[in-house]
């Protein structure tokens, strides 16, 4: 990677997690930079890691700062939605590696179970699109591909992007949906008037209306997620608000067998998503709509 992408702050805490192993290795190098012979370490490493200052830490923070800055609470009524814990000071984001995704739909199934999506509702929060090679052509994509996947195609999982500029939130006539300070777009099931304007304004087909009363087998119910309240109102992916605000990761990230999904906090420079956004070439779906989605794709 380039010089710009690898500076490390002196005050970085001990990193954790899979992708950070290389990083902790580098940091170890930095800590011992004075001892190591300068010639045995690439010049940029010894230069940055050895003398990382507060100003450089700020520079590093800056590379994601515009994104974090843009992602503000929208129409936030001041108190969190009833069925979730209050937002922390995180800024949630997800990165999906489409090169790794094999289209197995395990994220879809895990999500259905975790979020009490009605088994009769006819929708899932996550839609995996089977894409033709060579282009990102949604009109040629197939969300109903046969299980197993085709090695000649590639797979694009789409769900609520928790946009920084959420058209659904702007379009809701009664402020029954809003963006919380940590970036999660939530719906107040007790307020939704079922006008379905959010379904219309969403560019990602991420919102779904409960045309039928959702049926979830009693044994499979997740007590943390409402069920009855969802009849006749709109629901969608919440980045598993019931898990992520309690320190867990989302169900889809947990279920992915190939580790194609990374979820984390952009405010934390050590999080996987922060590192991926800074070190990899990432892209977002339908950038032209200007919704500034908080899910990035890589690969």
Partner 1 sequence: MAKKLITTTAPGVYRFIGVDFNIGALKSAGKRYWMFVALLGIIITLGIVAWGTALANGGSVMAMRDNYPWGLWFTNYMYYVGLSAGGLIVYASVHLFGAEQFKPLSRLAVLQAGVLVMLALLGIITDMERPWRAVYMLLTPNGTSPFVYTGSAANIYMIICFVDLWVLITGFGGKKLAQRMTLIALPFAIYLHTTTAFVLSLNKSRELWNSAVMVPIFLTSATASGIALLLICAYIMQSIGVFKFASSMFRSLATLLATVIIIDLFLLLVEILSVFWPTSAKPGHVVRLEHFFTGEYAWAFIPVLILGIGAFVLLAGRKTRHLPAIQITASAMYVVAIFFKRYSLMAMGFSTNTLGQYSSPYFPSLVEVLIALGLLSVGLMIMTLSAKVLPLQVPEDEHDEEPAALGAGAEPVVEAG
**Interacting residues toward partner 1 by CB under 8 A:** 75, 122-123, 127, 129, 137-141, 143, 158, 167, 170-176, 191-197, 199-205, 208-213, 231-233, 289-290
HSE value, Cβ hemisphere, 13 Å, CA-based, for 113:
13
Q: Please identify, using beta-carbon distances, which residue of 152 and 288 lies nearer to partner 1.
A: 288
Measured from the CB of residue 125, what is the shortest distance to partner 1 in angstroms? 12
Measured from the CB of residue 158, what is the shortest distance to partner 1 in angstroms? 6
Measured from the CB of residue 167, what is the shortest distance to partner 1 in angstroms? 6
Measured from the CB of residue 94, what is the shortest distance to partner 1 in angstroms? 18
- Please state, in angstroms and rounded to a whole number, the distance separating the CA atoms of residues 80 and 292: 23
- Please state, in angstroms and rounded to a whole number, the distance separating the CA atoms of residues 155 and 134: 12
- Please state, in angstroms and rounded to a whole number, the distance separating the CA atoms of residues 5 and 251: 30
**Cα angle at 267 between 299 and 282, to 5 degrees?**
15
For residue 262, the SS3 value is strand
Alpha helices in the chain (DSSP H): 21-31, 43-50, 54-70, 106-114, 167-171, 197-201, 241-244, 251-255, 272-279
Q: Please identify, using beta-carbon distances, which residue of 58 and 174 lies nearer to partner 1.
A: 174
Q: Please identify, using beta-carbon distances, which residue of 231 and 282 lies nearer to partner 1.
A: 231
Between the two ends of the chain, the Cα-to-Cα distance in Å is 15
Number of Cβ within 10 Å of residue 181's Cβ equals 16
Measured from the CB of residue 262, what is the shortest distance to partner 1 in angstroms? 23
Q: Please identify, using beta-carbon distances, which residue of 123 and 278 lies nearer to partner 1.
A: 123
Q: Please identify, using beta-carbon distances, which residue of 205 and 254 lies nearer to partner 1.
A: 205
- Please state, in angstroms and rounded to a whole number, the distance separating the CA atoms of residues 282 and 298: 5
Measured from the CB of residue 195, what is the shortest distance to partner 1 in angstroms? 6
Q: Please identify, using beta-carbon distances, which residue of 274 and 291 lies nearer to partner 1.
A: 291
Are 176 and 193 in contact, with CB atoms under 8 Å apart?
yes
């Amino acid at each position: 990677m380039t010089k710009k992408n690898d500076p490390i702050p002196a005050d970085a805490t001990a990193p954790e997690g899979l992708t950070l192993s290389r990083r902790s290795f580098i940091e170890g190098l930095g800590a011992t930079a004075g001892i190591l012979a300068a010639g045995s370490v690439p010049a940029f490493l010894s230069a940055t890691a050895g003398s990382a200052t507060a100003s450089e830490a700020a520079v590093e923070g800056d590379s994601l700062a515009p994104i974090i800055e843009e992602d503000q609470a929208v129409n936030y009524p001041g108190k969190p939605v009833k069925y979730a814990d209050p937002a922390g000071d995180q800024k949630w984001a997800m990165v999906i590696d489409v090169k790794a995704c094999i289209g197995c739909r395990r994220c879809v199934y895990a999500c259905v179970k975790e979020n009490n999506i009605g088994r009769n509702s006819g929708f899932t929060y996550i839609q995996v699109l089977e894409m033709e090679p060579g282009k990102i052509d949604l009109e040629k994509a197939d969300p109903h591909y046969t299980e197993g996947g085709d090695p000649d195609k590639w797979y694009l999982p789409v769900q609520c992007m928790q946009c920084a500029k959420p058209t659904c939130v702007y379009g809701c006539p009664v402020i029954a949906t809003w963006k919380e300070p940590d970036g999660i777009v939530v719906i107040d099931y007790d307020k939704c008037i079922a006008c379905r304007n959010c379904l219309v304004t969403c560019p990602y087909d991420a919102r779904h209306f409960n045309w039928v009363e959702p049926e979830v087998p009693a044994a499979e119910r997740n007590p943390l997620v409402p069920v009855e309240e969802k009849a006749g109102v709109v629901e969608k992916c919440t980045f598993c608000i019931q898990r992520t605000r309690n320190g867990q990761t989302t169900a889809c990230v947990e279920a992915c067998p190939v580790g194609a999904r990374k979820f984390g906090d952009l405010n934390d420079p050590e999080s996987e998503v922060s590192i991926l956004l800074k070190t990899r070439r990432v892209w977002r779906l339908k950038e032209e709509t200007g919704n500034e989605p908080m899910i990035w794709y890589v690969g």
